[in-house]
Structure 1
Amino acid sequence: MNTRFLTKASLIAAIYIVLVLIQMLPMPLVNLTFGAIQLRIAEGLTLLPLVESAAIPGVFVGCLLANLLLAPYTGFGLVDILGGSLVTLIAAYITSKMKNKVMAMVPPIVLNGLIVSIWVSYYTSVPYLVTALGIGGGELLSVAIFGTLILSVYKKAANLKEY
């Protein structure tokens, strides 16, 4: 690993955390970030591993730290801190192996929808199917809308020449 890689990964992690914290500012929206229906804007960053390898550890560390910082507000505890972060890491790695943007959207949507829903359903007492659809649907919106925007901005920024 070199300094440039670590810097990119750190910036992506920091952006992930900031996006989660901004979304948490109006406390009623905490359930949109951690509940049975989730629309976590920061999850748009999960498309970046398609074009940037530093995004794999970046989104993992960002998710881990965001989940750790906000664990007292969610009630999901260690399973969400570690489990949710590992799901993000696995999804990021698989995303990095995809051939196009549409296919790259599948891992974070499917893995979060199916796996994270297990404990969220348990802790919220919302039926698993409802939770899986809520989390998967929110992930779809986040990745399709915010992820596409983030990917576009990243590609444009990457094309800028350093002076």
Structure 2
Amino acid sequence: MKKKSNYVADAGVIAALYVVLVLVFAPISFGPVQFRVAEALTVLPFFTPAAIPGLFVGCLAANFLGGAVLWDTLFGSLATLLAAYLSYRLRANKWLVPVPPVVVNAVVVGLIIRYAYGAPEAVPFLMGTVFIGQLGTAYGLGMLLLHLLQPIKNKIFKSA
């Protein structure tokens, strides 16, 4: 029972952190060129499987509260869920953990920006701008976070 409670608590904290980071940095979290600081948290599946639902719920709530359209809220969150699951599966090599959020979000969010929001830019351009933002957040900030948390992971993630 304690393990399950820890899992839910870890997922809830990760979701809350994601929402706060998206909303605090809202001006750069949405749009064709985005640098979603919360995406640094996409390395957390390296430490705990609780990050998978935590990131999904956090993205869902952040998109809803941030005013995203229905298709963005739904499919953007599902993209985060898929990326988090794939990151967890790649946790044997910490350098591969950020790959799924970068690639999955570049494709899915690029399409969402074009078709759900009607952005005039070409899909490859939009995928490229999301890809660059994801590189900066998932790899840049995310790998920094991973290395900072690695020595203290057992004190932070009780469900791991």
Same fold, TM exceeding 0.5?
yes
Kindly report which structure 2 residues correspond to 1:23-38, keeping only aligned pairs within 5 A, or say none: 23-24=25-26, 29=27, 32-38=28-34
The residue aligned with 1:46 is: 42
The separation in 1 between residues aligned to 2:13 and 2:48, in whole angstroms, is: 12
Instruction: Render the CA deviation track for 1:66-124: whole Å, top value 9, x for unaligned.
Output: 001012xx4xx110001000000000001000021221111110000011111202322
The separation in 2 between residues aligned to 1:63 and 1:157, in whole angstroms, is: 25
CA contact (8 A) 2:47 2:153 kept: no
CA contact (8 A) 2:46 2:87 kept: yes
How many correspondences in the alignment? 151
Larger helix proportion, structure 1 or 2? 1
Give, as a single letter, the amino acid of the residue that structure 1 aligns with 2:147. Answer: S
The residue aligned with 2:73 is: 81
| 1:130 Cα offset (Å) | 1.1
The separation in 1 between residues aligned to 2:53 and 2:110, in whole angstroms, is: 23
Is 1:22 aligned to residue 24 of structure 2? yes
| 1:159 Cα offset (Å) | 4.4
The separation in 2 between residues aligned to 1:143 and 1:131, in whole angstroms, is: 18
Q: Quote the RMSD (CA, aligned, Å).
A: 1.6
User: What is the TM-score of this pair, normalised by structure 2?
Assistant: 0.88
Q: Which of 141, 146, 150 lines up with 1:146 in the alignment?
A: 141
The residue aligned with 1:136 is: 131
Is 1:90 aligned to residue 86 of structure 2? no
The separation in 1 between residues aligned to 2:71 and 2:155, in whole angstroms, is: 41
Give, as a single letter, the amino acid of the residue that structure 2 aligns with 1:83. Answer: F
| 1:153 Cα offset (Å) | 3.1
In the TM superposition, structure 1's runs of 4+ consecutive aligned residues that sit over 4 Å from their partners are none
Instruction: Render the CA deviation track for 1:15-44: whole Å, top value 9, x for unaligned.
Output: 0011111102xxxx2xx3111111100011
Give structure 1 stretches of 5+ with no counterpart: none
* Percent identical residues: 39
User: What is the TM-score of this pair, normalised by structure 1?
Assistant: 0.87
